[in-house]
Structure 1
């Protein structure tokens, strides 16, 4: 959600809607325009203030002012708005492909493949408090899932998607609170556990539900998708 607000503000700065010396609308106005809470807008403004882009001034004539647009390129080649677009496109492709891989694994996987996936899941669980280690273990899980499908072309496609998402994840994570990232890891671990159980039981409906929940969780965190937020919250409530 915070990435969404950052995207709106930074895109406005890049487009020239607000220039150095300009005062931004109030937090209340921005929150109303974007459709989020004032707290989320406040977090985004604080982030940009810490990076020297904005400055909050008190007293008569106070408010939030643009002080240095030249610092914006340091956030990376893609703007937050660009990242949201690419993440959305990637998830639109990844969800059906990952579901296809999981269903093939259910039909074709050997005991050794399922055992390997269970081992990687254990690594994910052990690294739950380290975002970098967890992300690497999660990537290995997805790649092993594709490999276990027995389709080398599917493995290659998934590899490309995973690499792109890893880059996006690093860019998004730079703007997220540690607590938000921890919640995402907890939700991710819970849905991976559901997927493993469904794979081991050969239940195609449960497999589809697990993949769908996982994608909704990603959308809720990175894209601020309100339709997915309820699923994300429920996953956290259900997780250990």
Structure 2
């Protein structure tokens, strides 16, 4: 069975174990919530004694990089964290300009990420992206918007991993956490626009192909085109939603007015009949 952990070569100390796990977290190999192997298995993979491994894990837990949960083993802690505190997320979620600013930021940072990924992606990186795109096509065929939204975030995270820049990787992860939480805009509304799902799939494919082919210019252009489309689609979904809201108000108002008119006519007819008798 393959493993991401490697043998500690020279000084088999807790510090050496700590540095290896730190690097796996920093490089994005280990993500928030990932569970480490059991103590016996991990010690065997690293070829260190269990007391040494235990000391390393305790040190990492004390620093907030790992957490141990009852019945859940040892897991990577939430090291990415939140870009904004909850009150700020609630505030920006209610202001349309925040969505525009967020997408503008994504357009620029994703353009840089895609360009760098095309220059730096290894064969293993490309294989990972290829697998994600294959699953993206399968999910697309199923027509499940929630699953499409989930793999959308996974794809963009994987592009960030291809850059091999720690700061950019974790900045992007924080950015996509906001996307996954739906703070800025509803992707489900975009998916329901005519042709949007097919267009988004094609755009992700174009980004992947440019990275696969090692074409930085095409990768940047594909990333910019993708976010530009999301910007336009978000605005269109917002307009459509507003139109639907107003149309609903009109319909309700006119239905109420019509009912009132019918009621008034009935009342007048009743009074006239009473007067004639």
Report the TM-score when normalising by structure 2.
0.48
Moved more, 85-94 or 128-137: 85-94
Describe how 1:114-129 pairs up with structure 2 within 5 A: 114-128=126-140, 129=143
Equivalents in 1 of 2:104, 2:184: separation in Å? 20
Q: Secondary structure at the match of 1:98?
A: helix
- Report the counterpart of residue 71 of structure 1 in structure 2: none
Equivalents in 2 of 1:143, 1:132: separation in Å? 17
Equivalents in 2 of 1:188, 1:86: separation in Å? 22
Question: Where does the alignment leave 5 or more consecutive residues of structure 2 unmatched?
Answer: 1-88, 238-277
Q: Between Structure 1 and Structure 2, how many residues are aligned?
A: 147
Describe how 1:1-240 pairs up with structure 2 within 5 A: 82=95, 84-128=96-140, 129-168=143-182, 172-173=186-187, 176=189, 179-180=192-193, 183-224=195-236
Higher RCO structure, 1 or 2 (CA under 8 Å, sep 6+): 1
Contact 2:157–2:173 under 8 Å retained in 1: yes
Q: By how many angstroms is 1:209 displaced?
A: 1.8
Contact 2:121–2:163 under 8 Å retained in 1: yes
Equivalents in 2 of 1:120, 1:171: separation in Å? 24
Equivalents in 2 of 1:162, 1:127: separation in Å? 19
Q: By how many angstroms is 1:205 displaced?
A: 2.2
User: Deviation digits for residues 101-136 of structure 1, max 9, x if unmatched?
Assistant: 112211111101011001101111111111111111
Are the structure 2 counterparts of residues 205 and 104 from structure 1 closer, same or farther at C-alpha, using a change threshold of 3 Å?
Answer: closer
Q: By how many angstroms is 1:140 displaced?
A: 0.7
Equivalents in 1 of 2:153, 2:110: separation in Å? 12
Moved more, 112-121 or 184-193: 184-193
Q: Secondary structure at the match of 1:168?
A: coil
